[in-house]
Structure formats: structure tokens, C-alpha cells
Amino acid sequence: MRPEIEQELAHTLLVELLAYQFASPVRWIETQDVILGEKTTERIVEVGPADTLGVMAKRTLASKYEAYDAARSVQRQILCYNKDAKDIYYDVDPVEEEVAAPAPTGGASAPAPSASTTGGPPVAAAPPPPSAGPAAQVPDAPVGAVDIVRALIAQKLKKSFADIPLSKAIKDLVGGKSTLQNEILGDLGKEFGSTPEKPEDTPLDELGASMQATFNGQLGKQSSSLIARMVSSKMPGGFNITAVRKHLETRWGL
């Protein structure tokens, strides 16, 4: 085929493809249903000059998937490359280290002023700098059943650990939401294998005490799954649960 014919065919094909692209629907609603519904994507990053698609996705989440996400404890992030680079790359603010004062030059170093010479109260000596070596080992304290119960309920209600009073029962904490109550009972069943009779009516301190008798002191399926999800979503790539344990042991002796 002659070059001029190939050029003419290429031009015609390009025009036809562009015309088809301009005339065809974008199908953005169907695309969102696949990303947010079928795939349950938890982290979406828009790469572009603005967050146009991200804003539309947030509106779709609020109007269509909010109750769905709450029922499944799904937390999503919709980020824009030009606005949320710090969250995308997990950047942290650098810690400014204190610069030590230079030592006096020439002759013997001057003694530090004492309380008798300055006339003021005695000043405590500054603590020595932390050692660069591994931290001293801290004895392990076994986790209690009541602590796990409280943590699972706090996660489900999206509250802090301290905001879950031990004097209240699950039924009181959910505020009459039977679906949420059943989800909490299901999480407790996954974690401990079995629960006492009518756990939703029992105050948390009594519930934890009754479950402590058969508790082996180890994290169960539900709490381990939540920890793994937190590490995978909040930590940089490659910093898995093994690296977290090593850091806690080396830095804090835990």
C-alpha cells in the first residue's frame, strides 16, 4: 500500500474514533458504582489539575453509599493529587532537634553556678539523653476481655475508647439502632467464639468479667483484622505488622 493511502486511512480512522468518543456517553455513574459498590474501594486518588471527579464521588458516597459503608464499617478516602499530596505520600513534619551549646574554648571549663552563688532555689540536673541502643524490656501485661469488648464497640460507634462507659450496656450505647447492635454482637461472636446470654442487656464491666473466665488472653479474629486494616491503610508501603512489632520492641521495649 502506498504511503499516501496509509496516511489517508490513518486520518480517517482518527477522525472517526474521535467522533465516536465525543458522541458516546461518559458512563460516570456506572463507573462510580463499580468503584464504590462492586469493588468497595477505600482509597481513591484523583490525578489532575483539580478535584472535580473527587467532589462528584463524595456526593455519590453521601447520597448512595453512606448507610452501606456504616453497616460494613468501611472508611473511605477520596484525595486529589494537587491538594492532598501530604496524605497520599504519608509525609510527616520533620522533628527539629535541639542544637547543643558549644563548649567554651581555652582554659578550664567554668563550673556551673550553684544555688549558693546565684541565690535562687536548687535546680535539678537535666536528665541524661536517651540511649541509642535498644530500649529496656517492659513486662507484658495481658489484655483483658473487657478491654477488647470496649475497643470493638468504640470502633463500631466511631468513638474514642474513653467515650465508652463500662456502666452502660450495648443496647444503651447504640441508641435503639438494632442493626448496629446486631453488628456489634456479631463482632463479639467472631472475637470470642461465644457470648453469654443476652449480652446486649449486660453492662460492659459485667459482660467483660463473665467473658474473662474463658478468655485465653490473645487477640481474636475481629481485633486482629482491625489492626491489620489499620496498618495497611495508615502505614507506608512495606511497613507491615512485623515491622510495627519490631519498632515497638526496639524503641519502647514492648
Of the ranges 63-77, 93-107, 149-163, 229-243, the best mean pLDDT one: 149-163
What pLDDT, on the 0 to 100 scale, is given for residue 153? 93
Provide the Cα torsion 230, 235, 236, 240; round to 10°: -70
Indicate if the pLDDT at residue 48 is higher than 90: no
Q: Is the pLDDT of residue 111 over 80?
A: no
Average pLDDT over the chain reads: 81
Structure pTM? 0.46
Give the per-residue pLDDT at 132: 52
Which residues in 12-27 are b (16+ Cβ under 10 Å) and which e? Answer: eeeeeeeeeeeeeeee
Inform me whether the pLDDT recorded for 102 exceeds 60: no
Residue 141 grid coordinates: 501485661
- Residues 6+ positions from 47 with CB-CB distance below 8 Å: 81
Residue 201 has pLDDT above 60, yes or no: yes
